[in-house]
Amino acid sequence: MPALTMSEKILAKASGNESVRPGQIVDGSVDLLYMHEMLAMALIPFGEIGTAKVWDPTKIVVTLDHWVPPPTPEIAKMHQTIRDFCRRQGIQRFHDVGDHGIVHQLIAERGYAHPWDLVIGSDSHTNMVGALGAFAAGIGATDTAAVMATGRLWLRVPETIRVDIRGTLGRCTGAKDVILKVIGTTGDDGARYAAVEFAGPTVGALPMNERFVLCNMTTEMGAKVGMIAADETTKRYLAHNGLPFRPISSDDGATFAKSFAFDVDGMGPQVACPSNPANLKPVEEVQGTKIDVAFLGSCTNARIEDLRIAAELLKGEKVAPGVRFQITPASQIIYRQALEEGLIEIFMDAGATFTSSTCGPCFGGHLGTLAGDEVCISSTNRNYPGRMGSPQAQVYLASPWTVTASAIHGEITDPRKV
């Protein structure tokens, strides 16, 4: 048996092969298909394919996240269509408005994905779920319809790029700064079609919430999947679902198409400048840039740990006059935690806005979009023109520390100086 990487092992298992090699096209049996409102788009090709029933309703999870609650009658109707479809198809794991979350976070926190799974999601940031040791790739509407009908998907076995991270993260510096640094080094297509595997002592020591950040933004490297070996940390995170845990890691001697090594000792906060996630500058070079909006949200950085960071910095402080600081948790579960921990009160005392969980602001959909002359610092994942609203708006991407420190000072601020 040749030595395999994690993604090769999972694709071999999913396609019933003993081994696979990069470049090979395999027909994979899907363990989990998850969808958000794209299901409405997928229903068109699904209807054309003509299979009345989905292949296996127990392998499907659906939630509503992009437009929650629905901002227009047309979107309310779209939600109805999805609700009716899930009921008719017997999809039990439909998480309706009120029980919702940004789908990647919902999948992770409910323990729906496991190491060794072939996970397919109708969203580009499905890569996040690879932090659990799953092969988790995003697809569009027609592919989604194909999986709903057949339970299978053709996949090209990706080459694996290994990103080795060592060193100790400094104060007010975290996984977001690391991944921005990686993207700034490789470019926003540095891992096109590839699997990215994070390894090394720094990654091994990261808690799950930070591992999710790394894998989440492999999408902004063009990667098909981002993966981290499933270890004791993963096992503890998934323990609540009561299912057997089987670790996964790449074999010694597995082939990596490329390897990068990063030493994060002494690395400070990083900022991706308008209008490309790879347009990287250390915070020192952009501090003082006036902002109109600060946003803490999205599947990338709106977990409870991110909200705690914001609360710690905001306690006893005020959001700068003229700045709107919006905090949108990644799920209803996180919303409740924030409530129970008293974080929402701190946000409100500081003059920040706290909203229900949604993807809305991150993709410029609703619930906080940007005007043409606005400058925003955001904990989200993309800053292409028009991403968060007007194509003229300027978006800087940064960590929860940098976003919150900037909200307090009304300009991009090095959080280590707060």
Partner 1 sequence: MLREFRGRVWTFGDDVSTDHIIAGKYLGTTDAKVFAAHAFEAVDPTWSSKVQPGDVIVAGDNFGCGSSREQAPVALKTLGISGILANSFARIFFRNAINLGFPVLECPGLRAKVQPGDVIEVDMAGGEVRIPHGQVMRFTALPPNVLEILEAGGLVAKIRSDLSTKRS
- Determine, following the binding rule CB under 8 A, whether residue 412 of this chain makes contact with partner 1: no
**Rounded distance, CA 26 to CA 398, Å?**
37
Q: Which of 145, 314, 330, 398 binds partner 1 (CB under 8 A)?
A: 145
> 208-216 and 304-314 are packed helices; what angle lies between their axes, rounded to 10 degrees?
100
Is residue 53 a contact point for partner 1 (CB under 8 A)?
A: no
Among 382, 394, 405, 408, indicate the residue that binds partner 1 (CB under 8 A): 382
Contact 271, 282 (CB under 8 A): yes
For Cα atoms 340, 332, 39, give the angle at the middle one, nearest 5 degrees. Answer: 175
Whichever of 46 and 212 has its CB closer to partner 1, that residue is 46
Regarding 150 and contact with partner 1 (CB under 8 A), the answer is yes
CA–CA gap between residue 311 and residue 307 (Å, rounded): 6
Query: Is 52 an interacting residue with respect to partner 1 (CB under 8 A)?
Result: no
Distance of alpha carbon 224 from alpha carbon 124, whole angstroms: 9
169 vs 278, which CB is nearer to partner 1? 278
Shortest distance, position 193 Cβ to partner 1, whole Å: 5
Q: Confirm or reject binding of residue 79 to partner 1 (CB under 8 A).
A: no
Residues numbered 170 to 229 that lie near partner 1 (CB under 8 A) are 188-189, 192-193, 222, 224
CB of 310 to partner 1, least distance (A): 24
Does residue 252 bind partner 1 (CB under 8 A)?
no
Give the total of residues touching partner 1 (CB under 8 A): 52
N-terminal to C-terminal alpha carbon distance within the chain: 54
- Residue from 19, 58, 72, 92 touching partner 1 (CB under 8 A): that is 72
Which residue among 4, 32, 38, 129 contacts partner 1 (CB under 8 A)?
38
State the residue for tokens 């919902």. 106
Three-state SS at 325: strand
What's the token pair of residue 14? 């999913």
| Closest to partner 1 by CB, 174 or 190 | 190
Does position 387 interact with partner 1 (CB under 8 A)? The reply is: yes
Cβ-contact 396, 272 below 8 angstroms: yes
Q: Is 127:228 a contact under the CB 8 Å cutoff?
A: no
| Residue appearing with tokens 């924030």 | 338
Cβ proximity to partner 1: between 3 and 44 the closer is 44
Least distance between partner 1 and beta carbon 285 (Å): 22
Of 3, 49, 243, 261, which one interacts with partner 1 (CB under 8 A)?
Answer: 49
Q: Which of 55, 245, 260, 384 binds partner 1 (CB under 8 A)?
A: 384
- Asked if 95 and 101 count as a contact pair (C-beta separation under 8 A), the reply is yes
d(C-alpha 203, C-alpha 201), whole Å: 5
Distance between CA atoms of residues 296 and 293, nearest Å: 10
Taking CB under 8 A as the rule, does residue 88 contact partner 1? no
Binding status of residue 41 toward partner 1 by CB under 8 A: yes
Cα torsion angle, 345, 351, 352, 354, sign: positive
Q: What is the largest CA-CA distance in the chain?
A: 63
Least distance in Å: CB of 228 to partner 1? 20
Query: Can the peptide bond before residue 69 be classed as cis, meaning omega within 30 degrees of 0?
Result: yes
Q: Does 254 bind partner 1 (CB under 8 A)?
A: no
By the 8 A CB rule, do 200 and 234 touch?
Answer: no
- Which positions from 119 through 138 interact with partner 1, judged by CB under 8 A? 122-124, 126, 138
Given the rule CB under 8 A, which residues bind partner 1?
25, 38, 40-41, 44-45, 48-51, 66-67, 71-72, 74-75, 78, 122-124, 126, 138-143, 145-146, 149-150, 154, 156, 188-189, 192-193, 222, 224, 276, 363-366, 369, 382, 384-387, 389, 391
